Homo-oligomer: A and B are copies of this chain.
Amino acid sequence: MIITDGSASVDRRHLLKAAGTGLALLAAAPALARAPLAGSQVAGVYRMKVGTIEVTAVLDGHLDLPQALFPKATDGEAGTLLERAALPRAPQINTPVNTYLVNSGDRLVMIDTGTATAMGPTLGQMPRNLSASGVTPDQIDVVLMTHLHPDHANGLITPDGKPFFPNAEVVVAGSEYDFWNDQGLMNQAPKDVQDFFRMAQAAVKPYAEARRLRRIGPDGEVVPGITTVAAPGHTPGHTGYRISSGDQQLLVWGDIVHIAAFQFAKPDWSLAFDTNQDMAAASRKRMFDMTATDRITVAGMHLPFPGIGHVLREGDGYRFVPVAWRPI
């Protein structure tokens, strides 16, 4: 496949010759088919294999997070990090909401469910993308919840409060379930936070009433091939799920990162609405260290769609390297 260096001088000769030929030795009238613009992006779906298990990233949409939600971020540092990510210096940073479908061949598992109608028209696209992936909600056996914030749990229910997944068991950390269902705690919270309590309660209620809600502890196997990894701080029972098959693993880590451009370089930058910012930072550092050391592929609900990649050490912090698009 090698064109020898001997042809290089010929190239130059041909280039010089070509420079004199000008445009359009042979011209043709274009057909001007006027194909309509597609006008929309393709479906937000991407697949990978973890051993024999098929994992499908299913996009729920995008939201803008204000830089001001990161109390430790200075404008200078944030601007530098945005430039390093080739993003505009802007007070709002766009970030996706991802969900994941896990198919072992005999069990179909969703991890998180997106926002449904709770957060506007740029979100709530999980149902459409799930359909594009070839799966209907009634086929889902189990829904694993990383936590019960509305951008993860609202997709559990239809607008009239019915289960969106009519046959699924919902699995959630007991500590997470207890926190959001604590009426005393809710009554003490600021009014806008009370909405979060109400939404979390509404999302799990029909499943609990149907005795299709399973509370789990911080460690253990929740379905064959999937174990929990406790990562508290963002919320009290925030939980990652480790998918294992053969010698391969994928850690679906929930909300360890909200803005990839910021938090890999600055693991200390917790979010103002983490229930415990210090604990969230400790969980983030533990997850970064573990996945970088053990070279475990990660998937994150707010990493650039499909949200799958590798954590590498860089300087005092880390760097995220998205997986390259690949066939399976």
What residues make up the interface of A, taking CB atoms closer than 8 Å to B?
Answer: 1-8, 10-12, 14-15, 17-19, 21-47, 54, 56, 59, 61-62, 69, 84-86, 94, 96, 103, 105-108, 122, 133-135, 138-142, 167-169, 173-176, 178-179, 182, 185, 188-190, 192-193, 196, 208, 210-218, 220, 223, 232, 235-237, 272-277, 279, 304-306, 309-310, 312, 321-322, 324-328
Contact = CB atoms under 8 A, between A and B. Distances in A.
Closest 6 A/B residue pairs (Cβ): A18-B175, A86-B310, A31-B167, A11-B236, A33-B139, A304-B324
A30 B312 contact: no
A45 B46 CA distance: 11
20 contacts: A5-B276, A11-B175, A15-B237, A18-B218, A21-B174, A23-B217, A25-B174, A25-B215, A28-B211, A28-B213, A30-B142, A35-B103, A35-B135, A38-B47, A38-B54, A38-B56, A38-B103, A39-B328, A41-B326, A42-B42
Contacts of A35: 103, 108, 135, 139
A171 to B, nearest CB: 9
A4 B189 contact: yes
Given A5-B277, A11-B175, A35-B103, 20 more contacts: A1-B273, A5-B276, A7-B188, A10-B236, A11-B235, A15-B236, A18-B215, A18-B237, A23-B220, A24-B214, A28-B214, A30-B141, A33-B167, A38-B134, A40-B328, A41-B326, A42-B42, A62-B326, A62-B327, A304-B325
A208 B25 CA distance: 11
Contact of A216 (B3, B5, B23, B62): B23
A52 to B, nearest CB: 9
A174 to B, nearest CB: 4
A312 B86 contact: yes
Nearest to A134: B38
A325 B312 contact: no
- Of A5, A35, A175, most B-chain CB atoms within 10 Å: A35
A246 B237 CA distance: 49
Contacts of A103: 35, 37-38
B169 A28 contact: yes
Given A1-B196, A56-B38, A185 B7 contact: yes
Given A8-B275, A275-B7, A32 B196 contact: no
A84 B37 contact: no
Contact of A31 (B6, B23, B141): B141
B54 A47 contact: no
- Of A18, A43, A190, A217, most B-chain CB atoms within 10 Å: A18
